[in-house]
Amino acid sequence: MKIIKNYIGGQLISPVLDEYLDNVDPSRGIVYSKIPDSTTDDVEKAVQAAEKAYEGWSNTPKEARGAIMIKIADIIESRMNEFAAAESLDNGKPVKLAMQVDIPRAVSNLKFFATAIQHFASESHYMEGLGVNYTTRKPIGIVGCISPWNLPLYLFTWKIAPALAAGNCVVAKPSEVTPMTAFMLSEVCKEAGLPEGVLNIVHGLGHKVGDAITKHPKIKAISFTGGTATGKTIATIAAPMFKKLSLELGGKNPNIIFADCDFEDALSTTMRSSFANQGQICLCGSRIFIERPIYEKFKAAFVAKTAESKVSYPSDPEAKLGAVVSKPHMEKVLSYIELAKEEGGTVLTGGEQVKLEGEYANGYYLRPTIIEGLTFDCRTNQEEIFGPVVTITPFDTEEEVLMMANSTEYGLASTVWTSNLKRAHRVADHLHTGIVWVNAWLVRDLRTPFGGMKSSGVGREGGFEALRFFTEAKNVFIKS
Ligand code: NDP
């Protein structure tokens, strides 16, 4: 059985207490590896290693930092099949998805920030007759990065890449549920010659390792992606310590379909935006609002397509959905389906576990589920489910749909389908979300600001926003 190690001070080492947690393959429901059950002592070692490395790394020219990051990206790319298989085994997602999305995007994250830092310029503000200001941006020091299980390497690299490119040293914790590709990344970092202590990966539980990272006085910034409740806990600890905070949290995203949309495009994209990665993407559109003239037609086509979506083991090339990430998560999603029924909803398709045969009989598979007949303000339509479950609701006017779309505490992303350009601009302008896609979903330009409003987060990732987060600005004024 593979035993994962922490990556501290450039070495792959056992946790101080030599205790381990089970790592489960969700497609079979069996333990297949062990991961360090690290503690505060391991985080302390990581901070010491980062402290030692900081002087060297922060003074390494950005061209040289970028070159090492590109080398890391190239090695991952050359081992694409291996990384995709590992991601799929750890998370339950179809291998095909990991090959097309997760691992290529991890490679892009590293390459993007390795080069973005080369273009990250200082600002200067001239004051007529008085003098000139110039603003320097220096790395913060040691930063903490904590990431979730749904897009493991993709979101892990989305944080550590800008942090490292900007010259910080990092103490990072991947989700305990999906640690494998972060472990493989640590092997790659060694191979690529990343100096010791620049990146430290401490595996373990959120309430131990995540908490210790958040509380450590020498860690000056926390970049976190995960649930809103965890984000609140982290903010409560970090804010009084005056740490910089970037929080990417939950979502309950609306998908608004007007009658004048391109029907086929809206339908096929809605299949993806509802059920890709078993609905476990923070950007999935889980509340679908359909304009009344096409409600019945869209519903019939959507239900038919969903009912024929193949739920299968991750290496099945025909699989549209794989396993959800864990047994507790499967149970949580099923409990929301029960709640929806209690709230008066009708399950149009799905609503149950799928039992596969043979070695996959104990895996955590759910049928993609569509529910109708719920009010916009019931719990099912207000709380994040984070699984292959969507609701459909008809609407009559733009005002009505905007009111329903904006009614949740979340404000991450939204999707709008219409061929009316003026309406597209108007609706996009009135949606309370950090991201709006019109006639598209999940099109990502890594230069754009990424993040949510309201309880979906604080701050923005992506492009120069991320580099600004991971640097400290200093303004110098010189009298002329
Ligand atoms: P969690 O909030 O449970 O966990 C996220 C990370 O935080 C994990 O590494 C977790 O460790 C760690 N953690 C847990 N408790 C603490 C703590 N007290 N202090 C510090 N760290 C802690 O989220 P999930 O992993 O369940 O991920 C799903 C959530 O992530 C969904 O709500 C989803 O919407 C959100 N998400 C948001 C995105 C965005 O960009 N806005 C993108 C992707 C997901 P452990 O695994 O051990 O619990």
CATH number of the domain to which 96 belongs: 3.40.605.10
Instruction: Say yes or no: 230 and 363 in one domain.
Output: no
Q: Is 411 in the pocket of ligand 1 (CB under 6 A)?
A: no
Residues in the chain predicted with pLDDT less than 50, given as ranges, are none
What is the residue with the minimal CA distance to atom 42 of ligand 1? Answer: 282
Instruction: Say yes or no: 152 and 180 in one domain.
Output: yes
Instruction: Say yes or no: 223 and 319 in one domain.
Output: no
Taking the CA of residue 384 as reference, the ligand 1 atom at the shortest distance is 32
How many Cα atoms are found within 13 Å in the side-chain-facing hemisphere of 135?
12
Measured distance CA(465)–CA(12) in Å, rounded:
32
Return the residue matching tokens 């005002």: 399
**Is 197 among the domain residues?**
yes
pLDDT at 273: 98
Packed helices 152-165 and 180-192: angle between N→C axes, nearest 10 degrees? 40
Instruction: Say yes or no: 219 and 304 in one domain.
Output: no
Instruction: Say yes or no: 205 and 296 in one domain.
Output: no
Mutate which of 149, 205, 408, 410 for ligand 1? The one with the most ligand atoms within 8 Å of its CB, which is: 149
Instruction: Say yes or no: 288 and 202 in one domain.
Output: no
Q: What are phi and psi of 36, to 5 degrees?
A: -60, 135
Mutate which of 22, 150, 241, 325 for ligand 1? The one with the most ligand atoms within 8 Å of its CB, which is: 150
How far, in Å, is the centroid of ligand 1 from the Cα of 184?
21
**Is 408 among the domain residues?**
yes
Q: Is 284 in the pocket of ligand 1 (CB under 6 A)?
A: no
For residue 20, give Cα distances in angstroms to 5, 33, 90, 112, 145: 10, 10, 16, 35, 21
For residue 292, give Cα distances in angstroms to 11, 147, 371: 60, 40, 16
pLDDT at 468: 98
Mutate which of 225, 325, 448 for ligand 1? The one with the most ligand atoms within 8 Å of its CB, which is: 225
Mutate which of 175, 216, 234 for ligand 1? The one with the most ligand atoms within 8 Å of its CB, which is: 175
> Structure pTM?
0.97
Taking the CA of residue 205 as reference, the ligand 1 atom at the shortest distance is 47
How far, in Å, is the centroid of ligand 1 from the Cα of 371?
26
pLDDT at 140: 98
Residue pair 390/273 in contact (Cβ under 8 Å)? The answer is no
Instruction: Say yes or no: 274 and 203 in one domain.
Output: no
Q: Is 386 in the pocket of ligand 1 (CB under 6 A)?
A: yes
Instruction: Say yes or no: 148 and 282 in one domain.
Output: no
Measured distance CA(450)–CA(461) in Å, rounded:
5
Residue pair 165/138 in contact (Cβ under 8 Å)? The answer is no
How far, in Å, is the centroid of ligand 1 from the Cα of 418?
34
**What number of residues does the chain have?**
480
Q: What is the 3-state secondary structure (H, E, C) of the chain?
A: CEECCEEECCEEECCCCCCEEEEEECCCCEEEEEEECCCHHHHHHHHHHHHHHHHHHHCCCHHHHHHHHHHHHHHHHHCHHHHHHHHHHHHCCCHHHHHHHHHHHHHHHHHHHHHHHHHCCCEEEEECCCEEEEEEEEECCEEEEECCCCCHHHHHHHHHHHHHHCCCEEEEECCCCCCHHHHHHHHHHHHHCCCCCCEEECCCCHHHHHHHHHHCCCEEEEEEECCHHHHHHHHHHHHHHCCEEEEECCCCEEEEECCCCCHHHHHHHHHHHHHHHHHCCCCCEEEEEEEHHHHHHHHHHHHHHHHCCCECCCCCCCCCECCCCCHHHHHHHHHHHHHHHHCCCEEEECCCEECCCHHHCCCCEECCEEEECCCCCCHHHCCCCCCCEEEEEEECCHHHHHHHHCCCCEECEEEEECCCHHHHHHHHHHCCCCEEEECCCCCCCCCCCECCEECCEECCECHHHHHHHCEEEEEEEEEC
Q: Is 205 in the pocket of ligand 1 (CB under 6 A)?
A: yes
Taking the CA of residue 211 as reference, the ligand 1 atom at the shortest distance is 19
Q: Is 214 in the pocket of ligand 1 (CB under 6 A)?
A: yes
Q: Is 173 in the pocket of ligand 1 (CB under 6 A)?
A: yes
Instruction: Say yes or no: 233 and 376 in one domain.
Output: no
**Is 451 among the domain residues?**
no
What is the residue with the minimal CA distance to atom 20 of ligand 1? Answer: 210
Q: Is 36 in the pocket of ligand 1 (CB under 6 A)?
A: no
Q: Is 37 in the pocket of ligand 1 (CB under 6 A)?
A: no
Catalytic positions are 248, 282
Taking the CA of residue 456 as reference, the ligand 1 atom at the shortest distance is 41
**Is 289 among the domain residues?**
yes
Instruction: Say yes or no: 386 and 403 in one domain.
Output: yes
Instruction: Say yes or no: 348 and 216 in one domain.
Output: no
Taking the CA of residue 248 as reference, the ligand 1 atom at the shortest distance is 41
Domain count, the chain: 2
How far, in Å, is the centroid of ligand 1 from the Cα of 206?
8
Taking the CA of residue 229 as reference, the ligand 1 atom at the shortest distance is 2
Domain limits at 175? 2-249+456-479
Instruction: Say yes or no: 260 and 202 in one domain.
Output: no
**Is 475 among the domain residues?**
yes
**Is 450 among the domain residues?**
no
Say which CATH number the domain at 439 has: 3.40.309.10
